[in-house]
Structure formats: C-alpha cells, structure tokens
Structure 1
C-alpha cells in the first residue's frame, strides 16, 4: 500500500478510537528523512552545557533551559522537520480573516497537562497576555506583538471565546505572524500566582519555577515530563504516555521511555563522555571532526553526520558602543571597518573549523533562498597593513611608544575580549583575534566566562568586546529582537533600548543607519507583499555589512556524532522552538 494511503488509513483508525484514552492525534511521518516507525523503550542520554538556571523558559534567556523546554512543552504550531513548513501542534487548525488581521486557532482537543489538568484556551491566552507580552519577562517577546500603524504603537489582542478557541486580532496584517507562534505554552493553573492577573508584579514572573521547585509543579503538554534533577549533574525526564503525536503505524510518540541530560561543561569533556559511551548524541565542532571521522572509519560504534539545516549560530565579535572608556571609538563605523580588516576569517575557517565553515556575510543563513543577500563583496578582507593604515587615519596611533595605539583622548587602545571559556572553538577564535589585533597595536585582554553566562554578560553590557553566536531563523522578522536597534537583544548598543520595558526606543542614541534599520524591521512586520519584504530585508543586510554593528566571523557546518543504537536521528538544534526531532529518536 502506498505510504500516503497508509498514513491516511492510520489517521482514520486513530481518530475513530480518539475520545477514550487519546488526545486528538497528529500523525507524523518522515520517510524522506529516513525515519521509520519504532517501538517504545530504552533511555537516551544527551549533554547539557550547564545546569538550567530556571525551569521557566520566559524567565531567563538560557540555552539549557531552552533545550529542556523543547521536550517538555509544546507550542501552537511547529516546523515540519523536513520542509520547515509551519504545521499544527497544540492548534489543530486555524483560520485567517480575508484582511489578514484575525487569526482563529482551533485547539487540539483532549490534550492534558502532565498532572492531568485539561489544556484549554485559557492557558494560551494566559501565556501570551501574562508572560510572553509581559515587558518585564526577561525572555519574553513583547515587541513582537506591538505593531506601528499610522505612527502609533498598537498591540495584538488575545481572546478565548470558548475552551477550544483562541482569537488573535492584529492591528495590521503580518506576513510572518503564523511563523512566530512557536512560543511554548505554559499552564495557567501553576503560574497564575506569579502574574499580574494573579495579583503579582510584572517582574515576579522571573521568580517562577526556580530549579528547587518540586518537579510535580513543573508540568507541560510535551512528549516528556520532569522526573529528577540534581544540580550540576543530571536532569531526568520520563515519557509522557498521553502525548498527542502518533506514527504511521499508530504508535504513540515519543519512543524513548526516558531522557537523561548530563551536565558536562566544555566540548572536550563532552567528547570524552561520548567516546566512553555515556552520551547517545553529541554536536561536535569542526576541530573535533577529523578525530571523530577517523574513529568512525576505523570501526567505532558511531557515525558522524552533517546537516545543511537552515538554523545555526555563526559567531561574531561585537564592540560595546556604550563602553565608558571607548564609546566614541567603538561607536565609529570607521573603527569597526578597520577592525574588520584585522579578523582573519579564512584562518578561523581553516584552523578552527577544519574547513567545515563558510564566510557568512550576513545575519541571514545562506541556506535561506528567499531572504539571503550575498553581502560578502561588501565585507573587507583580512589585511593587517590596511587595518593599521585605517586606524592611523582615525588618529589612533601609538603616541607614547609603548607598542599600543592611543585613542584621541590619550588612553591606550587596550580592552577586554570576553569569550566562552567552556568552548575550545571560541577559545581558539579569541586567541587568533588577540594575536592579530596585537600585530596592529591593539591590545585585547582575554576574559573567559562560563558558556552559560556569556549572553547574560553581553545583555548586561559588562564587557568591552565579546565573541557571541546567535542563531538564524527562516524569516528576519523572527530575529527582530536581535537586529532591530532598541531590541531586547541588541546588546552592542544598549543605549538605544527603551528607558522602561515596553517603552519607545531611544532614537536619539541611534545613528542614521540604525534608524533606517529600525524602520525596515518596523515596516517588515506589517508588510505582506513578499517581493517588497524581501527587498526590505536585503537592504537591511547590505546596511549591516556596510556599517558592521558586529563583525561576522564564520558560519560553521552542523556536525553531530550519533551512536549506532540511536534510530531515526535527525540533527537537533535544541534551542529552536518548534523544531524538535527528539520524540522520534528510538533505542535500537
């Protein structure tokens, strides 16, 4: 029987049985990715770079919390793992009004939270109104739900006309709105006391679900449930027997009975744990690739796979425009262009990534055939002599003969360069930059911090220069908090951010090119004409390349090592909401 007919038959049979023990099911089938139906059982063990600082996704931006959230909670919509198309998740279907301003989501019926409480539209409206759009939530996203219409800021509204329906009304159409709705949904009955609706202050949401919370209180609707937690050691999850996804054979996902996440800091330590058989899967760097590939060829019980996935995190180096000592220097595009010439991207690609990377040229992924603009011709190539000459022209010269250039105020051009000390990749990049900067009389003092603290260090402005990697998404609108001046993650120029959460950005602090980029993202939110949107975002990429708010370094390939007893493996990015192949993995 052809697979599509088989899937249709399975769907019909499951739907016929639905109403007793199962929630309204979604049949998932990815034969083109090599996935096959499997049986339930076994334990899979993955690494975590550090202990999660919280169990609440919206309380802090943290990769470890995000990784766990991806397997414990669900969103209204999700990505198709093969095509990246948006598909139903907690929303079984939706309707959009003719003018594109009203989205009506019809929720999947019969879904329950892990404690057995029914999941309803009240949970969705609560998550959006009390958490996601809460301007004080450290990892919320209030700006995504404010539209500029006729010069005024207007919010999206959320309503639940009944338990199975959520209506979102937009001030204007938005081409990327549905794509955005991959926010994890959280339980109102557990989190109400931490919200304004429950009588708390807005900032109190950040105190919800600390990691000493009894795990029975931390409930989702996702494929796995919290079972155990030992700080600094392990997070244990068990299979949700009532999950709403089934495979084409009618078996409920997930396949693994248990997931264990071991806290292992540093990629060298993680590699050792993987090679010892203590981890099922490991994302590896280009530097680790030759050793792992040699072991695979020699007959090791694992294979090395690469992925051309749309998502990824190209590292960049950023200078703090608001640094008290060097704000005028770091905020000058001519200085950043000079320093761009001192970044040897080709060496990083060859020596750090073993050639398994490319020059990115833009914050948009090259694999994105729609929005990607090849700005590599606008990037300045590595040329230390040209970098030195450009600094000379700016009057940044060694005026006291100590080997370090002086800025016009007379201060030595000596600053800290912060990086992720848990990563040998970032350590190597930082060392290369330090050495090359030194050759042109710029002194960078390396400051290593734990990987889990890197982004928070940037967001706090507690750095002078820093190396950070931020991921790509399939639509630039989804990266608006990073790349729109004044955004919550626009960390290199924090003075552009609103004086109070949810307020107007500080336009007075913006350069003209930043104001134009701000307008581009503002227009892109409500522009529905695809050709016009593409033109806008390509202009942004050119402005980004010309003004170098950050210096893009490299776009590494996605590489993983996976033991042979792991079936249905698809490269997992871990922190991209709505993209989660882990429920499909099984133990052979």
Structure 2
C-alpha cells in the first residue's frame, strides 16, 4: 500500500477537504448518501395501536399505469441540474433520470455505470471500467467521453457546489483509454474508490451537457423528463431500453411539497400515492384512511439524532466534560419524547447500519451522579454552555430543548439558540456554540468520519482517530480497513465529541399496494426505478 501522502493523511480535516453547505446537507440525509431498504418484514406497533409496515410490499409490480409521489421540495430553487439540487424531491428525480458510477446497496458500493474501480499498486491512479450496452435517453451510446466530461464539469470552480471528490482525485486530468475505460489520477491514496464514488452524488451527464432544461436534460436512468415546473411537479416517462430493465410504471409524477402535512393530505385526499418524511406525531395518529399504510424503512435505515460537541472552545474541550454529558443525559426520555415509539436509544456513534459499524459498543449508562462529579473535577460546574439547533429533522429542536434542561440538571449553565435551517451551518454561528444538534442518515463510515470533520467546530483533533480514518480510506486491504474503522469508533466511543442519543425511523405514508420504493441511497429519497402497484 502506497503512503505517498502519509503526512497529509494523518490529518482528518485535510483528508476531508473543505465541505460546502450542500455537503453538510448531504451528510444529514438531505443530500446524497448510503444504504438499501429491506423487503417487507411484517408489521410492528408504534405504541398507539397503529400497525406500521417495515419496508415495502412483496410481489412484483404490474407493468403500466402512473404514479404520483410527494417529496419535500424547495419551491423555485428546485432544479433539473444534478449538481445543484438539495431537497428530497431533487434527489429522487436525479436518481431516476441519471445514473451514478456506483450506488449503495445493502451498505456497500455496487456497480452502476462503472463495473469496477481499481487503484494501481502505487496508489497514483484509479482505473474505471465502464458498463457496455448503455444508451442515453436520446438513443446515443454511453462512453468514456461522458464520464470525463462529468468529472471535469463537477471539478470546475464555477460550479455552485464543486465535487468533494477533488480532494481525492485529479478529476480534470482524467483520461480515456478506450470507450469503456477511464483512468483518474489520485491526489491521495484511495484503497476503496468505489465507496467514495458511491457516496459523492456524482450523477453522470452526457458529454457536452451544461444546461438542464426539459428539452436538453438527457440521462441514462430508467425515466426521462417530459415536464418540469420548479416547486410544483416533475413529469417523467419510462425509458424503455434502460440497461437495468425498464421500469414498471409508464409515467411517474413527482410532487414538490415542502409542508409535511400537505404531503400527507395529498395522499389522504387521493392526489398522491405516496408521501415521504411523515412526522412522528402524524404517524402516531395513524394512516388516516382505508387502503393506506404508515411505513418505516426499517432499523438499518434509521436517522441517528445527536449533538456534536465543539472542542475548540469552552467546557467541551475537556474529555471529562464530554464523558459527563454522555453519562448524564437521559436517552430514554429523549427517545420517548421525540420519536413517540418510532425509534431506540443510540450508543454515541453515527453510521449505524453501515459496513464496519461497531454495534458492539454499548449504550452508555445513565449515571447523573458520576456526571456531576466529572463536571466538578473539570471545573465546568456552573459554566455557560450554548446549544445550537435548527429543525433539519422533525423533533430536532424539541430534542435540543430537553437536552438543555438535562444539562442544567447536571450543573451546566446551558442555553439554547434556535435558528432557521438556512442558518444552521453558518460557520460563525457554529463557532459560537458548545454543542450543535446534528442528525445523520445511514452513511458509509468514510463519509461519516471525513465530512463530519470538515469543519473545525465538528471535528475531534485526535491523532489516533486521524490515523485510523486515514488508514481506512487509503488501504486496499479489507481486513486492515475493518480494523482501522474499529479503532476509529472505539476512540469516538471513549473520548469523542459525539452525543448520539437515539435513532429514529424514517416514515412515509403510502397506498398499501404500492411497491418498489427502494431506499438504496436513503429512505428520504428512494430509488423509484421499479416502483409500481402489485395486482
């Protein structure tokens, strides 16, 4: 294994590179990310007597018909450009109009437009082997020229959100070997390039594409755009020659509806077949109609709720304070109050469900007496402690309110700062807080540990942690990678700055016979390439 960038690799923030707001939104589960939804495993109860299905119905969908599905949008900011969108509606649309080189399925990177990504022996280049027999919506063949154009397009400094892959690969230097082989020089040694590519949100666009209107948005995905009205709807039709098998529904309409109750009302009123991101309180009250079903993506796809402690200032810099907070908070009370029966306590680690996640780490005991002793020993008793929150997930602000109450009970002079979602990750605001409310979707550990460390206010400057993460990213040995991720997670569990207190279900409302809603990237923006109704 090459160590040509070992000095840089020992620093996690350098390995991560600068992260844009879009990158942080993606890390929260509001942009690109990670695992697959399970098949229907039966029903459970939410504690209020309403049956909740886990996953989607079994059985093949019938061919034909039309679907209407409602997702959170952003009004006029909705876009057909796969490099700028941020909302679930955008991401759902991109995933069925375009394809990525690799996508996540069952927690690992799986081939899509690329069937292999191999680093060379020196770690200086990555060779992509592309899938043959793929056609664009206009009938032209997919080739290496399309991939090279995509890489250079995403690396361009005039992009609203330049690709973070530039921190690992020299994208502008990618070169064609033949029509189905591309070589990309690396900036840092990457042992598992497929995982980084799968988590990058890199949708492949056609060679020469620079604008994205209804007339010139051409993809290789299972559906093509026929009508688009930002903030209202997108109409799509089946791409009959899709390389992975044509879709079931003839037409799909994506409704862009920002208000969660309006999405639910659309299904209950018959205007939609599916509504994503249903609130816990709505789910608690039941589906609200015959033939409708509240669904959860399953335990492996839960969103982890927590707080990241800012070790650059105040009490959180002391590991005794961090341990005191982990021991002192009442996780059961938080779970009961926020998830309303749709979740469980967490063990202070983000990344649950990902490959190599260390689920053997126990949930810290609730020991407020020891927590108070640790705070006094650290000289933090009575010290100011600012908690910052924005409602990126339903119940996040409520969790921050309860968190502040619990911190006050331990002896900290805790106060709460609530801001809007557009301000949540303002750099100066983050610097001025001691803890930041932080939800994470089901992500690969590579994304979880590098992106979350991109801001100093989110990072843990620990040499053992940095070395472990750098090794996990750079090694081509699966055994060495697994061992490195174990070390990284043990460091975070022992002295880290994460207080991940609970994992909440991602809920939706759907017609009972709707199937093929595949949460391969995230249950917040599932893949609809095989969606349809069972007979």
Same fold (TM over 0.5): yes
Distance, in Å, in 2 between the alignment partners of 1:135 and 1:278 is: 40
Could you tell me how far 1:98 is from its partner in structure 2? 8.5
Distance, in Å, in 2 between the alignment partners of 1:264 and 1:155 is: 35
- Choose the corresponding residue for 1:546, options 490, 494, 503: 494
1:568 aligns with 2:516: yes
- Choose the corresponding residue for 1:433, options 375, 384, 403: 403
Partner of 1:518: 466
Distance, in Å, in 2 between the alignment partners of 1:134 and 1:458 is: 21
The answer as to whether partners of 2:300 and 2:353 remain within 8 angstroms in 1 is yes
Deviations 1:525-552 (A, max 9, x none): 2223322221211111111122232211
Could you tell me how far 1:307 is from its partner in structure 2? 3.3
- Choose the corresponding residue for 1:235, options 215, 225, 233: 233
Larger Rg: 1
- Choose the corresponding residue for 2:445, options 476, 479, 489: 476
1:306 aligns with 2:296: yes
- Choose the corresponding residue for 1:447, options 396, 412, 418: 418
Partner of 2:44: none
Distance, in Å, in 1 between the alignment partners of 2:527 and 2:159 is: 32
Using a 3 Å threshold, how does the CA distance of structure 1 residues 143 and 103 change in structure 2: closer, same or farther?
same
Distance, in Å, in 2 between the alignment partners of 1:292 and 1:469 is: 25
Equivalent residue of 2:209, what SS? helix
The answer as to whether partners of 1:268 and 1:424 remain within 8 angstroms in 2 is no
Question: What is the TM-score with the length of structure 2 in the denominator?
Answer: 0.75
Partner of 1:126: 149
1:333 aligns with 2:302: no
Using a 3 Å threshold, how does the CA distance of structure 1 residues 466 and 135 change in structure 2: closer, same or farther?
farther
Could you tell me how far 1:587 is from its partner in structure 2? 4.4
Equivalent residue of 1:469, what SS? strand
Could you tell me how far 1:74 is from its partner in structure 2? 0.5
The answer as to whether partners of 1:133 and 1:142 remain within 8 angstroms in 2 is no
Distance, in Å, in 1 between the alignment partners of 2:271 and 2:428 is: 34
Distance, in Å, in 2 between the alignment partners of 1:288 and 1:31 is: 22
1:584 aligns with 2:520: no
Distance, in Å, in 1 between the alignment partners of 2:214 and 2:367 is: 55
Distance, in Å, in 1 between the alignment partners of 2:451 and 2:162 is: 12
- Choose the corresponding residue for 1:258, options 240, 252, 269: 252
Partner of 2:267: 274
Using a 3 Å threshold, how does the CA distance of structure 1 residues 344 and 215 change in structure 2: closer, same or farther?
farther
The answer as to whether partners of 1:156 and 1:169 remain within 8 angstroms in 2 is no
Using a 3 Å threshold, how does the CA distance of structure 1 residues 268 and 580 change in structure 2: closer, same or farther?
closer
Distance, in Å, in 2 between the alignment partners of 1:105 and 1:176 is: 15
The answer as to whether partners of 2:135 and 2:142 remain within 8 angstroms in 1 is yes
Higher relative CO (CA 8 A, sep ≥ 6), structure 1 or 2?
2
1:67 aligns with 2:92: yes
Could you tell me how far 1:47 is from its partner in structure 2? 1.9
Equivalent residue of 2:290, what SS? coil
Partner of 1:48: 72
Distance, in Å, in 1 between the alignment partners of 2:266 and 2:488 is: 43
Deviations 1:314-359 (A, max 9, x none): 122124445xxxx243333333333334432111222221333223
How many residues are matched? 472
Using a 3 Å threshold, how does the CA distance of structure 1 residues 44 and 262 change in structure 2: closer, same or farther?
same
The answer as to whether partners of 1:415 and 1:445 remain within 8 angstroms in 2 is yes
Equivalent residue of 1:300, what SS? coil
- Choose the corresponding residue for 2:390, options 403, 419, 429: 419
Equivalent runs, 1:13-162 vs 2, <5 Å: 34-51=58-75, 52=77, 54-59=79-84, 63-80=88-105, 83=106, 86-91=109-114, 93-94=115-116, 96=118, 99=121, 102-112=126-136, 114=137, 118-131=141-154, 138=161, 140-142=163-165, 145=168, 158-162=174-178
Could you tell me how far 1:575 is from its partner in structure 2? 7.3
Using a 3 Å threshold, how does the CA distance of structure 1 residues 64 and 580 change in structure 2: closer, same or farther?
closer
Deviations 1:297-327 (A, max 9, x none): xx721123333364443122124445xxxx2
Distance, in Å, in 1 between the alignment partners of 2:214 and 2:251 is: 18
RMSD: 3.8
1:531 aligns with 2:479: yes
Equivalent residue of 1:181, what SS? helix
Deviations 1:126-184 (A, max 9, x none): 222441586976362236625xxxxxxx9996321233332346689855222333332
Could you tell me how far 1:188 is from its partner in structure 2? 3.6
Could you tell me how far 1:257 is from its partner in structure 2? 0.4
Distance, in Å, in 2 between the alignment partners of 1:384 and 1:518 is: 31
Deviations 1:69-122 (A, max 9, x none): 222210123345xx556544223x44858859653413333512x456653312
